[in-house]
């Protein structure tokens, strides 16, 4: 399969700095100063879009914005990238009710009340757009603000009894270190786990609150499930809350 | 397991276990899910490979649009599962299903397959098998979908004749609707499958294989393909759309990446260049163009409806589009600064092409692609793609000096009368092109070379040519790999596996005796023959030998000019005598100019005279014909040295 020849990416720091200053491209052409505006969109990712990867989702957004008639800004240079930041990548197969994306638009700011309805009309099945708000151009990158993510995990056809699972959860939370290996690297899972709660016995459902932070690392639900001796492929995971640290 | 609800629930349980599950879920923007019981006729549009390969197919996108516009019909998409998904589907007893509503394929009225190339033949069987349908056409009845096929490979329908109920030869836009309407009527009239086929066999461009039989000579060549039923047409004249209708613009927007992830707008159909190896250049005649206004509006509409960041303006030879300059100027005016890339592929090797691209692109990623096809002037005259050597280098210079860093060059080895010297010239030309790039970009300049192997395709002037022997192909490839293969030289070489080329040649030139061979190769595990990692050459060797056949007869054997080919009963509106004459000219190194300039009497105008007479003269790019033009005299030939 052909690799991506073009995908979304987060703007580099240097681009942020040059956002309204006019930038000099590689060919030496001075770009005319273009006004930018930045918006924060809260959205859900469900249904068929569960199976859309993080990289593919960037492109889905690029196209939603174009269909909505909003002019997304791009970086300058040989390989222009859309100026867009998703707060925290969601693993393939997970749903979410609480995603956040920042988008930079080019030109005069659009009329904000109609933006929401335009975006909703342009969204594919499974992309639910909850809200949109204007953000200061120079406020910090979304990824740097993320702190904690909550996941709802439904265990389908699980043979594990609720009390057995409850005991395993207690055991894990009582430990101070959980050594695990991922992609040939050893790390400690325990400090990435904030809380695990068994919230229902039928169907067996957990909530786990995990650290998701550029500074402290990212706790992955499948790693926690493995530590709980649960087959991650037989679960249904939905991210239900993202908590941001104070900017 | 056969309700959409059951299939949907089963999918939820298995999708996390397969690679790229987004292939199997549907729900893309602009996909159409109609209420199943609200329509009379349900059509499954199938591409016999995985989602990523099948989604960009423009033919099926056109049919999807046409059928779903009808309130009495629905069309849904079907692709093959990759091997991991196939194994789980079998284990869980999930039949092949449509992406939109997850209905089993067996529940549709019509199963329409697009077969653009021959390496898909085993996948056609695979698709029928996973749908739970009998593979052989005669084993299926009116309780099952009518299985029809079309696409460029089916201009020689014979190898698939056992498996397909009917072929649509030629352009399908009008035919698919006529057939779907007829299927609805016949369903209400409760006709048997045989009665249905008798009715449909009279339709223009329809070929029902069971109403014909092939006779063979002792040497294995065809004696005749005979009708065995009164309704069977002979020859079967391909369908031609007199004037291209408005192009579709509401393309389905995939949520995962596909091989061509963009909005395709066909600007022109057909080609007048007359390259002698080129199948499309013959079968897609006559040349019909869309107007500049229609194209610009379609691009605007497609971008608004889909949000695609890339638009491809498709044709066989973009430079030949009459108003290409004003098209590009208008597109540039309208779309510059909107972060779109508008591609104009298939450009001729001339500096004008560089200017065209320059005004279309916001960026210069992706490089610039040209197809000289051969590296010596002698060879290019033989294939009728004449061009001076210096012109290639001048164009390369122009491309690099305007900021592009990569040039892709497509060549073919194995042309008639080609020597190792001609192959060595590919090395020299590629190196010279790179040298032009180095002058401007230093080490950042690159050249990508794609070298395919010539196959003597049906319906072309080269259909009489024996294919290069395997040893010849290998020694030519060895030379190229030795001279161009090293890393860090700024040149990247790609070539085709000779065994895949051999298989493509066999299947594209096949007769009906290949039906059991394809069936047996599939039984032995052949599928996804276009995928290097899954193709199983030994299965094909075994399947052929069990039928008492071999590759040589189909691929490498010298042929008499009066041989009857397995596809001769399929009339692509270009006369066999014209092809023969052109082949003989190639042997004398004689070329023909673009037939927009002068008619060489290929046969279109007399065969389609009635259609042409209804149209304004400029609808087709055939020039006005004098009575002498039909004589085919040598004074119509331009000297090779021109």
Q: What does the pLDDT look like over A7-38, one tens digit per residue?
A: 333 333 333 333 333 333 444 445 556 789 99
B23 CB-near residues (< 8 Å, 6+ apart): B50, B51, B52, B79, B81, B82, B85, B256
Handedness of CA B387, B388, B392, B398 (dihedral sign): negative
pLDDT band at B489; cut points 50, 70, 90: confident
Residue where the block lists tokens 């199943």: B36
Strand B268-269 versus strand B288-289 pairing type: antiparallel
Mean pLDDT score, B560-586: 97
The count of structural domains within chain A is 2
Question: Is the confidence at residue A4, as pLDDT, over 80?
Answer: no
Distance CA A235, CA A156 (A): 6
Distance CA B343, CA B308 (A): 13
Q: How much is the pLDDT for B2?
A: 85
Both A42 and A80 in one domain: the answer is yes
SS (H, E, C) B134-197: CCCHHHCCCCCCEEEEECHHHHCCHHHCCCCCEEECECCHHHHHHHHHHHHHHHHHCCCHHHHH
Both A119 and A75 in one domain: the answer is yes
Under an 8 A CB cutoff, do A51 and B255 touch? yes
| Closest-approach residue (CA) in chain B for A74 | B339
pLDDT band at B364; cut points 50, 70, 90: low
DSSP assignment of chain A equals -PPPSS--BPPPHHHHHTTTT--B-TTSPBPPP--EEEEEEEEEE-GGGGGS-HHHHHHHHHHHHHHTT--B-B--SSS--BBEEESS---TT-EEEEEEEEEEEESSPPPHHHHHHHHHHHPPTTEEEEEEEEE-TTSPPGGGTEEEEEEEEEETT--S-HHHHHHHHHHHHH-S--EEEETTEEEE-GGGEEEEEEEEETTEEEEEEEEEETTTEE--HHHHHHHTT--GGGEEEEEEEEEEPP-
Give which of B117, B156, B119 is closest to B458, Cα–Cα. Answer: B156
Distance CA B9, CA B11 (A): 5
Distance CA B272, CA B620 (A): 11
Last residue of a domain, which of A123, A143, A163? A143
Asked if residues A106 and A119 have their Cβ atoms less than 8 Å apart, the reply is no
Q: How much is the pLDDT for B373?
A: 96
Both A212 and A159 in one domain: the answer is yes
What share of chain A has pLDDT > 90, as a percent? 72
Choose among A4, A69, A78: nearest Cβ to B365.
A78
Give which of B171, B167, B183 is closest to B43, Cα–Cα. Answer: B183
CB burial of residue B560 (10 Å; 0-12, 13-18, 19+): exposed
How many of the other CB atoms lie within 10 Å of CB of B188? 9
A69 domain residue, yes or no: yes
A4 domain residue, yes or no: no
Question: Is the confidence at residue A129, as pLDDT, over 60?
Answer: yes
Under an 8 A CB cutoff, do A80 and B21 touch? no
β-partners of residue A104 are A38
DSSP three-state, residue B29:
strand
Could you check whether the bond before residue B235 is cis, i.e. omega within 30 degrees of 0? yes
Chain A residues touching B27 at Cβ < 8 A: 47-49, 124-126
Asked if residues B212 and B235 have their Cβ atoms less than 8 Å apart, the reply is no
pTM of structure: 0.93
Under an 8 A CB cutoff, do B403 and A6 touch? no
Distance CA B30, CA B479 (A): 49
Could you check whether the bond before residue A247 is cis, i.e. omega within 30 degrees of 0? no
Mean pLDDT score, B17-25: 97
Handedness of CA A228, A232, A237, A242 (dihedral sign): positive
Give which of A61, A121, A123 is closest to A90, Cα–Cα. Answer: A61
Q: Is B243-361 CATH 3.30.750.210?
A: yes
Q: How much is the pLDDT for A8?
A: 33
Chain A residues touching B18 at Cβ < 8 A: none
CA-based Rg of chain B, rounded to a whole angstrom?
Answer: 25
Question: Residue B66: in which H helix or E strand, if any?
Answer: helix B58-68
Could you check whether the bond before residue A203 is cis, i.e. omega within 30 degrees of 0? yes
Both A36 and A78 in one domain: the answer is yes
A3 domain residue, yes or no: no
Under an 8 A CB cutoff, do A124 and B365 touch? no
CB burial of residue A178 (10 Å; 0-12, 13-18, 19+): middle
Question: Is the confidence at residue A60, as pLDDT, over 60?
Answer: yes
How far is the alpha carbon of B340 from chain A, nearest alpha carbon, in Å? Answer: 10
Under an 8 A CB cutoff, do B25 and A64 touch? no
Q: What is the CATH number of the domain that holds A19?
A: 3.30.70.580
Both A105 and A154 in one domain: the answer is no
Q: Is B486 on the interface with A (CB under 8 A)?
A: no
Under an 8 A CB cutoff, do B365 and A6 touch? yes
Both A38 and A66 in one domain: the answer is yes
Mean pLDDT score, B533-556: 97
Last residue of a domain, which of A114, A143, A172? A143
Question: Is the confidence at residue A50, as pLDDT, over 90?
Answer: yes
Average per-residue pLDDT for chain B: 94
Q: What are phi and psi of B117, to 5 degrees?
A: -140, 160
Instruction: Please give the angle made by the CA atoms of B386, B389 and B393, to the nearest 5 degrees.
Output: 125
Residue where the block lists tokens 């040295």: B641
Under an 8 A CB cutoff, do A67 and B338 touch? no
Q: Is B83 on the interface with A (CB under 8 A)?
A: no
Q: How much is the pLDDT for A159?
A: 83
Distance CA B283, CA B151 (A): 11
Q: How much is the pLDDT for A33?
A: 65
Both A65 and A183 in one domain: the answer is no
Choose among B21, B308, B309: nearest Cβ to A51.
B21
Domain range for A226 is 145-244
| Closest-approach residue (CA) in chain A for B302 | A67
Both A138 and A152 in one domain: the answer is no
Asked if residues A84 and A58 have their Cβ atoms less than 8 Å apart, the reply is yes
A2 domain residue, yes or no: no
Chain B residues touching A78 at Cβ < 8 A: 363-365
Q: How much is the pLDDT for B471?
A: 96
Strand B166-168 versus strand B146-150 pairing type: parallel
Both A130 and A157 in one domain: the answer is no
Which of A9, A45, A46, A52 would best serve as a mutation to test chain B binding (most B beta carbons within 10 A)? A52
Distance CA B109, CA B2 (A): 16
Q: What does the pLDDT look like over B550-561, one tens digit per residue?
A: 999 999 999 999
How far is the alpha carbon of A63 from chain B, nearest alpha carbon, in Å? Answer: 4
How far is the alpha carbon of A33 from chain B, nearest alpha carbon, in Å? Answer: 13
Asked if residues B406 and B446 have their Cβ atoms less than 8 Å apart, the reply is yes
Give which of B270, B286, B276 is closest to B606, Cα–Cα. Answer: B286
Q: Is A9 on the interface with B (CB under 8 A)?
A: no
Task: State how far Cα B42 lies from the chain centre.
Answer: 26
Under an 8 A CB cutoff, do B257 and A59 touch? yes
> Could you tell me the two tokens for B67?
């059928």
Q: How much is the pLDDT for A77?
A: 77
Q: How much is the pLDDT for A157?
A: 78
Q: Is B444 on the interface with A (CB under 8 A)?
A: no
| Closest-approach residue (CA) in chain A for B366 | A5
Mean pLDDT score, B398-422: 95
Q: How much is the pLDDT for A113?
A: 81
β-partners of residue A193 are A210
Give which of B310, B358, B309, B300 is closest to B334, Cα–Cα. Answer: B300
Choose among A4, A65, A79: nearest Cβ to B257.
A4
Last residue of a domain, which of A143, A169, A187? A143
Which of A1, A45, A103 would best serve as a mutation to test chain B binding (most B beta carbons within 10 A)? A1
Question: Is the confidence at residue B38, as pLDDT, over 50?
Answer: yes
Distance CA B634, CA B628 (A): 11
Both A139 and A151 in one domain: the answer is no
Distance CA A230, CA A155 (A): 8
DSSP three-state, residue B447:
strand
The single-letter DSSP state of residue B17 is G
Distance CA B463, CA A59 (A): 44
Mean pLDDT score, A224-230: 95
Asked if residues B311 and B303 have their Cβ atoms less than 8 Å apart, the reply is yes
B513 CB-near residues (< 8 Å, 6+ apart): B216, B547, B549
CATH class of B364-513+549-559: alpha beta
Q: How many CB pairs (< 8 A) connect A and B? A: 94
Distance CA A119, CA B18 (A): 31
Mean pLDDT score, A227-242: 95
Domain extents for chain B? 4-237, 243-361, 364-513+549-559, 579-636
Choose among A69, A122, A233: nearest Cβ to B17.
A233
B243-361 and B364-513+549-559, same CATH topology: yes
DSSP assignment of B552-598 equals HHHHT----TTPPPTTTTEE-SS-HHHHHHHHHHHHTT-B---TTTS
How many of the other CB atoms lie within 10 Å of CB of B419? 12
ipTM of predicted assembly, 2 dp: 0.92
Strand B341-343 versus strand B212-216 pairing type: unpaired
Mean pLDDT score, B302-328: 95
Q: What does the pLDDT look like over B94-115, one tens digit per residue?
A: 999 999 999 999 999 999 999 9
- A 25-64: CB under 8 A from B: 27, 47-49, 51-53, 56, 59-60, 62-64
Both A163 and A129 in one domain: the answer is no
Residue where the block lists tokens 């791009």: A74
Beta-carbon-side half-sphere exposure of residue B601 (alpha carbons within 13 Å): 16
Under an 8 A CB cutoff, do B362 and A51 touch? no
Asked if residues B98 and B105 have their Cβ atoms less than 8 Å apart, the reply is yes
Q: Is B4-237 CATH 3.40.50.300?
A: no
Question: Is the confidence at residue B629, as pLDDT, over 50?
Answer: no
SS (H, E, C) B408-422: EEEEEECCCCCCHHH
Residues found in chain B: 642
Q: How much is the pLDDT for B309?
A: 95
What share of chain A has pLDDT > 70, as a percent? 86
CB burial of residue A186 (10 Å; 0-12, 13-18, 19+): exposed
Asked if residues A25 and A77 have their Cβ atoms less than 8 Å apart, the reply is yes
Q: What is the CATH number of the domain that holds A230?
A: 3.30.70
Mean pLDDT score, A59-75: 96
> Could you tell me the two tokens for B357?
């691209």
Both A23 and A122 in one domain: the answer is yes
């Amino acid at each position: 399969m052909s690799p991506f020849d073009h995908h979304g990416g987060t703007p580099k720091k240097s681009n942020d700095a040059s956002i309204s200053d006019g930038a000099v491209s590689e060919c030496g052409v001075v770009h005319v100063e273009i006004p930018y505006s930045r918006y924060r969109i809260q959205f859900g990712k469900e249904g068929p879009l569960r199976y859309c990867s993080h990289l593919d989702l960037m492109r889905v957004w690029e196209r939603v914005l174009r269909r909505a008639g909003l002019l997304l800004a791009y970086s300058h240079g040989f390989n222009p990238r859309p100026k867009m930041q998703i707060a925290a990548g969601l693993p393939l197969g997970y749903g979410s009710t609480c995603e956040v994306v920042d988008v930079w638009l080019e030109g005069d700011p659009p009329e904000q009340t109609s933006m929401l309805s335009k975006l909703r009309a342009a969204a594919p099945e499974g992309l639910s757009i909850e809200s949109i708000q204007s953000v200061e151009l120079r406020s910090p990158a979304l990824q740097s603000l993320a702190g904690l993510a909550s996941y709802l995990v439904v265990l389908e056809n699980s043979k594990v009894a609720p009390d057995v699972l409850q005991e395993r959860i207690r055991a894990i939370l009582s430990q101070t270190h959980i050594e695990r290996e991922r992609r040939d690297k050893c790390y400690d899972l325990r400090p990435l786990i904030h809380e695990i709660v068994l919230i229902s016995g039928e169907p067996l459902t957990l909530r786990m609150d995990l650290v998701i932070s550029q500074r402290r690392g990212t706790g992955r639900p499948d790693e926690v499930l493995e530590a709980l001796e649960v087959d991650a492929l037989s679960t249904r995971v939905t991210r239900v809350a993202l908590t941001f640290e104070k900017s | 397991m056969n309700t959409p609800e059951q299939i949907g629930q089963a999918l939820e349980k298995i999708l996390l276990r397969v690679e790229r599950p987004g292939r199997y879920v549907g729900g893309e923007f602009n996909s159409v899910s109609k209420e199943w019981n609200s329509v009379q006729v349900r059509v499954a549009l199938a591409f016999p490979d995985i989602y990523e390969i099948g989604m960009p197919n423009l033919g099926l996108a056109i049919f999807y649009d046409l059928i779903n516009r009808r309130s009495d019909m629905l069309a849904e998409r079907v692709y093959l599962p990759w091997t991991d998904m196939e194994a789980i589907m079998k284990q869980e007893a999930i039949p092949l299903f449509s992406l939109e509503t997850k209905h089993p394929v067996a529940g549709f009225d019509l199963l329409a397959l697009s077969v653009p190339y021959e390496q898909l033949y085993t996948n056609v069987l695979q698709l029928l098998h996973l749908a739970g349908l009998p593979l052989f056409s005669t084993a299926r009845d009116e309780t099952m979908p009518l299985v029809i096929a079309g696409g460029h490979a089916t201009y020689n329908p014979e190898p698939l004749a056992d498996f397909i109920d009917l072929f649509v030869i030629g352009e399908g836009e009008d035919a698919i609707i006529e057939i779907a309407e007829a299927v609805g009527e016949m369903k209400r009239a409760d006709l048997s499958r045989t009665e249905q086929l008798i009715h449909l066999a009279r339709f223009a461009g329809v070929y029902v294989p069971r109403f014909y039989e092939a006779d063979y000579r002792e040497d294995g060549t065809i004696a005749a393909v005979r009708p065995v039923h009164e309704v069977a047409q002979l020859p079967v004249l391909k369908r031609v759309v007199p004037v291209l209708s408005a192009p579709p613009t509401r393309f389905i927007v995939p949520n995962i990446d596909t091989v061509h992830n963009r909005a395709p707008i066909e600007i022109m159909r057909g080609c007048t260049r007359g390259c002698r190896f080129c199948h499309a250049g013959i079968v897609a005649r006559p040349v019909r163009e869309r107007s500049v206004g229609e194209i610009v509006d379609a691009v605007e509409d497609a971008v608004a409806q889909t949000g695609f960041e890339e638009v491809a303006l498709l044709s066989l030879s973009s430079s030949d589009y009459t108003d290409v300059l004003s098209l590009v100027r208008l597109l540039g005016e309208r779309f510059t600064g909107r972060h779109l890339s508008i591609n104009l592929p298939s450009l001729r090797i001339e500096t004008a092409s560089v200017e065209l691209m320059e005004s279309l692109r916001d960026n210069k990623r992706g490089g610039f692609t040209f197809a000289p096809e051969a590296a010596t002037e002698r060879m290019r005259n033989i294939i009728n793609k004449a061009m001076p050597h210096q012109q290639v280098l001048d164009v390369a210079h122009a491309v690099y000096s305007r900021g592009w860093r990569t040039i892709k060059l497509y060549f073919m080895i194995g042309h008639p009368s080609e020597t190792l010297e001609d192959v060595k010239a590919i090395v020299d030309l590629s190196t010279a092109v790179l040298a032009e790039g180095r002058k401007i970009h230093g080490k950042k300049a690159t050249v990508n070379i794609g070298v395919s192997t010539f196959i003597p395709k049906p319906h072309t002037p080269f259909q009489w040519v024996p294919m290069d022997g395997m040893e010849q192909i290998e020694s030519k490839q060895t030379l190229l790999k030795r001279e161009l293969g090293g890393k860090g030289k700024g040149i990247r070489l790609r070539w085709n596996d000779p065994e895949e080329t051999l298989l493509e040649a066999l299947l594209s030139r096949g007769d009906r005796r290949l039906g059991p061979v394809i069936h047996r190769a599939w039984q032995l595990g052949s599928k996804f023959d276009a995928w290097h990692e899954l193709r199983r050459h030994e299965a094909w060797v075994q399947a052929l030998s069990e039928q008492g056949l071999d590759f040589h007869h189909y691929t490498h054997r010298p042929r008499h000019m009066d041989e009857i080919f397995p596809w001769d009963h399929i009339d692509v509106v270009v006369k066999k005598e014209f092809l023969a004459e052109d082949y003989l000219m190639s042997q004398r190194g004689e070329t023909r100019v673009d037939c927009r300039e002068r008619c060489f009497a290929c046969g279109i105008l007399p065969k389609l005279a009635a259609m042409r007479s209804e149209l304004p003269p400029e609808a087709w790019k055939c020039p006005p014909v004098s009575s002498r033009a039909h004589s085919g005299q040598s004074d119509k030939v331009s000297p090779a040295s021109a």
